[in-house]
Amino acid sequence: DEANAVGSDARRDASTDGQHPIVVVEGVNKHFGDLHVLKDINLTVGKGDVVVVLGPSGSGKSTLCRTINRLETFETGRILIDGQPLPEEGKALAKLRADVGMVFQSFNLFAHKTILQNVTLGPMKVRGIGKAEAERKATELLERVGVQQQRDKYPAQLSGGQQQRVAIARSLAMNPKVMLFDEPTSALDPEMINEVLDVMTSLAKEGMTMIVVTHEMGFARRAADRVVFMDEGEIVEQDTPEEFFTNARSPRAKDFLSKIL
């Protein structure tokens, strides 16, 4: 298993040395019954890119994230992660979920595992990493997100901001190729929002490839390479944050911005 883990890391390095993007979404359409929730979505995310997805409630932002992580299926188009199409099931799907880390609004930690166990479980099960190595890496990550001292506690004993930082560490422990964040601070008390955004900002600076759904415009301005604006299942506009916030072109984006700024 150790050998396998090394082998897959080597393959990953070889595959990301090439120029292909980490995430490619091409002509993706999805319905929920009669509702056309993703309309011909095209999105390319290069290595190290930070893409912030904005849009009104119900515009399809969460569905897009869930589709990229294959928590949802789609009808037409294709999605490639690091050049590979999304797997359907089994071990390949578990590996995809490890490669595409996801942090949700609700913290989704395992309630009956300690903080340390929450972070070591995935690498041991999915990546086949030994316990000592998994704990070493977990300790390093918990330190990085500032919750090392809570390692032997259970999630319910932590604040929301601490739990969300553990959730980020848990995803990072898998060595993801891309991290998806779906409104990671929306369920937090205001005083905890910044501690989570700070972790995300430093990840962005360190070159992590990220897709972030958020209403935190300050984060979008300072961390995003690109803003993607969605409305009614469509990507209406994609631009740099500077352009988007000062010079949005579409009436729908202007209307959205007038309500939040």
258 is a contact residue toward ligand ADP (CB under 6 A): no
What are the residues binding Mg ion (CB under 5 A)? Answer: 61-62
Question: Which CB, 70 or 151, lies closer to ligand ADP?
Answer: 70
Element (H, E) at 237: strand 234-239
Q: What is the DSSP-derived secondary structure letter of residue 106?
A: S
Q: How many CA atoms lie within 13 A of 203 on its CB side?
A: 31
Question: Which CB, 46 or 58, lies closer to ligand ADP?
Answer: 58
**Residue range at the interface with ligand ADP (CB under 6 A); choices 61-69, 87-95, 113-121, 149-157:** 61-69
| Of 225, 120, 205, 133, the residue nearest 169 (C-alpha) | 120
* 172: amino acid identity, one letter: L
Q: How far is residue 147's CA from residue 139's CA, in Å, rounded to a whole number?
A: 9
**Residue range at the interface with ligand ADP (CB under 6 A); choices 50-58, 135-143, 197-205, 235-243:** 50-58
**β-sheet bridge partners, residue 79:** 25
Q: How far is the CB of 60 from ligand ADP (least distance, A)?
A: 4
**β-sheet bridge partners, residue 52:** 212, 227
Q: How far is the CB of 182 from ligand ADP (least distance, A)?
A: 7
Question: Which CB, 37 or 224, lies closer to ligand ADP?
Answer: 37
Q: Which residue in the set 22, 28, 37, 145 belongs to the binding site for ligand ADP (CB under 6 A)? A: 37
59 is a contact residue toward ligand ADP (CB under 6 A): yes
71 is a contact residue toward ligand ADP (CB under 6 A): no
63 is a contact residue toward ligand ADP (CB under 6 A): yes
Question: Which CB, 62 or 120, lies closer to Mg ion?
Answer: 62
Query: For residues 195-216, b (16+ Cβ closer than 10 Å) or e, as one string?
Result: bbbebbbebbeeebbbbbbbeb
CA distances from 153 to 148, 149, 223 (A): 10, 9, 32
Residues that bind ligand ADP (rule: CB under 6 A) add up to a total of: 11
Contact (CB, 8 A) for 83 and 15? yes
Q: Which residue in the set 51, 62, 70, 74 belongs to the binding site for ligand ADP (CB under 6 A)? A: 62
Q: Residue 120's binding partner, choosing from Mg ion, ligand ADP, none, with beta-carbon cut-off 5 to 8 A by kind?
A: none
Element (H, E) at 27: strand 23-32
Q: How far is residue 221's CA from residue 242's CA, in Å, rounded to a whole number?
A: 7
Q: Residue 127's binding partner, choosing from ligand ADP, Mg ion, none, with beta-carbon cut-off 5 to 8 A by kind?
A: none
Name the site residues for ligand ADP (rule: CB under 6 A): 32, 35, 37, 55, 57-63
